[in-house]
Amino acid sequence: MSTTAEHIRLEEDRQRTKYWKRWGPYLSDRAWGSVREDYSPGGTAWDYFPHDHARSRAYRWNEDGLAGICDRHQRICFALALWNRRDPILKERLFGLTGSEGNHGEDVKEYYFYVDSTPTHSYMKFLYKYPQAPFPYAELVDENRRRGRQASEYELVDTGVFDGNRYFDVGVEYAKADPEDILIRIHVTNRGPEAAAIDVLPTVWFRNIWSWHQNPSRPSLERFDRAGGIALNDPKYGRRYLHGDGAPTLLFTENETNCERLFGGASASPYVKDAFHRFVVGDERDAVNPAERGTKAAAHYALTIAPGETCTVRLRLDERASAEFGASFEAMFGARRQEADEFYATVIPATLSADGRNVARQAFAGLLWSKQYYHYVVKYWLEGDAAQPAPPPGRDRGRNYEWTHLYNADVISMPDKWEYPWYAAWDLAFHCVPLALVDSEFAKEQLTLLLREWYMHPNGQLPAYEWALGDVNPPVHAWSAWRVYKIEQRRRGKGDLKFLERVFHKLLLNFTWWVNRKDAEGMNVFQGGFLGLDNIGVFDRSKPLPTGGRLEQSDGTSWMAMYSLNMLAIALELGRHNPAYEDVASKFWEHFLNIAHAMSGGRQYGGKGHDLWDDEDGFFYDVL
């Protein structure tokens, strides 16, 4: 096993001697337009909470931001806001089209890059390209809505806002001096031919956990010195500080909904979530709290940058009331970057070309930056909150009502933190295989998490995704668990049998669910929903057929054959240490043979032999 500095940090975190993963890139790129924030009568999530509301409306379930981080329970959040002196709003979050606005569905319309990250997030780097011209919000919506599905998408670069290189490169770096001391460095480079002004507002805030219940505990922020210091007082984490180098202007408000703007009613506070937009862009001096306290604060830096030049903003989030921004601050970034290089040298094969190694490292960065705190409690979501208006009639039988046991409040690997900021059961299983190459402990935790009783349905089904938890995803969890086990065994010299045994017992429940619920005739040919070929399907296989009858799926059945072989492999491995598993292994071998036999014609349809295989085409087909 390797002993780089990052490997040591991973081991310290695994042993719980130091909590290196408490802070990370767990802030979503988009929380608006999600199912969780949707309390509409018809389940129209995109329309109920659009991008235009996001700057003014407090989120119920989780936060979002630009290049942001938070703790693993998302009590404290940090992210970046920008203003190019031309936009009508601050650039506080990434913009994109909703499902109905995009000619190919939802689509983020920004240029941003997850440049680097270690698995403990001891070093991270992010790059965002911010136009100096007004951001073409309306043009992107109107033109993409006008185009048909056969046309190409209208992208941000097509609008001309990057012509003449008139944009800023905004690079954000994080380095952990220790688990609770996070150094932040923001480089802003003017790529254009003329000097350009930009406002940079590093922002810290508390997730709103107080507006939904009666008499909750409430955290607070306040200025604590004259030199750019913000004190954070949290009932769970105690007191910590955000220090800004260079004596920035400090702004304070509350993470509360601006009800006047959105609904024409009274707000809970005169200082609301969109205060910094109104103060900086609209020059509303009374939008921020003059008492310099609240639940959301920003350090405001107003910069003018010459062409080709770079300005740097430095901050520090830690538990100490004083902060160092000198040579040791800069040296820490160099040390953590070098340690990241050393770590990846043990992960990425040296036989790859320089380009190949760079691609691999970028891929790992994307995986690691795509972790997100995901919060969803179906029972609370259906019932509504005591301190809020009652939900619409019929909601108790609405979306996901059969999943009231589901209680999600965890850091989970996302398919994409903007386009798909929710976990999907089979995507997650695929993520875990490459994740095991850099952090097998996290990969195992993810696989185990979905099998826990507050995720898995009591009947054994795994939750699919928030839009329809009861949809059916391909059964790849056992395959992923086996691959993760073998990867860790190869890299550490020893496999985690306890992990393998834990997932195996829960997967027995899931396998039984498949056999009982998705093999309608008990003939080892399976039906299901979203099983892999749906992107080219002629109809939605998750719904009843418009013609009646039943579709026997070649891909669904082949997935189950693979599932049987995966469970066989796990049972045989466990049987090497406990002979009791040998009987279970033979059961899965028999199940595989039965499925193979059924796909090849070894069953009857109405007394006539029929199979899924076509000799002429040499291909398995679905059968209606």
Q: Is the entire prediction scored with pTM above 0.85?
A: yes
Q: Look up tokens 């108790």; give the residue.
A: 396
Spell out the alpha helix ranges (H) of 518-613: 554-575, 581-599
Rounded to the nearest 5 percent, the helix, strand and coil shares of the chain are 35, 25, 45
Give a yes or no: residue 253 inside a domain: yes
pLDDT of the residue at 416: 98
Q: Mean pLDDT across the stretch 317-334? A: 95
The predicted-structure confidence for 155-203, as pLDDT tens digits, reads as follows 999 999 999 999 999 999 999 999 999 999 999 999 999 999 999 999 9
Residue pair 136/187 in contact (Cβ under 8 Å)? The answer is no
Query: Given 368, 390, 409, which residue is the final one in a domain?
Result: 368
- Regarding whether 457 and 340 lie in a shared domain, the answer is no
Query: Are the C-beta atoms of residues 99 and 85 closer than 8 Å to each other?
Result: no
pLDDT of residue 122: 99
Q: What percent of the chain has pLDDT over 90?
A: 82
Please identify, among 323, 340, 368, the residue that sits at the C-terminal boundary of a domain: 368
CA 68 – CA 232 distance, rounded (Å): 17
| Total domains present in the chain | 2
349 lies in which domain range?
5-368
Q: What is the pLDDT of residue 608?
A: 44
Confidence of residue 531 (pLDDT cuts 50, 70, 90): low
Residue range 558-567, pLDDT digits in tens: 788 899 999 9
Nearest to 54 by CA among 25, 109, 92, 108: 92
pLDDT at position 598: 74
pLDDT, residue 265, reads: 95
Q: What pLDDT band is residue 596 in, cutting at 50, 70 and 90?
A: confident
pLDDT the model gives residue 597: 77
What is the mean predicted confidence (pLDDT) over 588-615? 67
Does 232 share its domain with 343? yes
Q: Give, as one character, the DSSP assignment of residue 351.
A: T
Rounded Cα distance between 611 and 602, Å, is: 7
- 435 shares its domain with 299: no
Q: What is the pLDDT of residue 515?
A: 83
| pLDDT tens per residue, range 294-312 | 999 999 999 999 999 999 9
Q: Is 76 helix (H, G, I), strand (E, B) or coil?
A: strand
Q: Do residues 483 and 575 both lie within one domain? A: yes
Stretch 13-28: mean pLDDT: 98
pLDDT score for 548: 65
Mean pLDDT of the chain: 92
- Residue 12 inside a domain? The answer is yes
**For residue 379, is it within any domain?**
no
CATH of the domain at 492: 1.50.10.10
User: What integer pLDDT is reported at residue 559 of this predicted model?
Assistant: 83
pLDDT for 430 equals 97
Instruction: State which of 302, 336, 368 marks the end of a domain.
Output: 368
Mean pLDDT computed over 377-396: 91
CATH, residue 294: 2.70.98.110
Among the listed ranges 71-75, 140-144, 507-511, 527-531, which one has the minimum average pLDDT value? 527-531
441 in the same domain as 362 = no
**Together in a domain, 492 and 576:** yes
pLDDT of residue 440: 98
- Look at residue 550 in the predicted model and tell me its pLDDT: 63
Confidence band, pLDDT 50/70/90 cuts, at residue 532:
low
Please check whether residue 387 lies inside any domain of the structure.
Answer: no
Residue 497 has pLDDT above 60, yes or no: yes
Q: What pLDDT shows up at residue 215?
A: 74
Tell me if 412 is assigned to some domain. Answer: no
Per-residue confidence (pLDDT) for residue 587, from 0 to 100: 92
CA-to-CA distance for 56 and 60, rounded, in angstroms? Answer: 13
Contact 252, 276 (CB under 8 A): no
Let me know if residue 398 belongs to a domain: no
Q: Same domain for 127 and 203?
A: yes
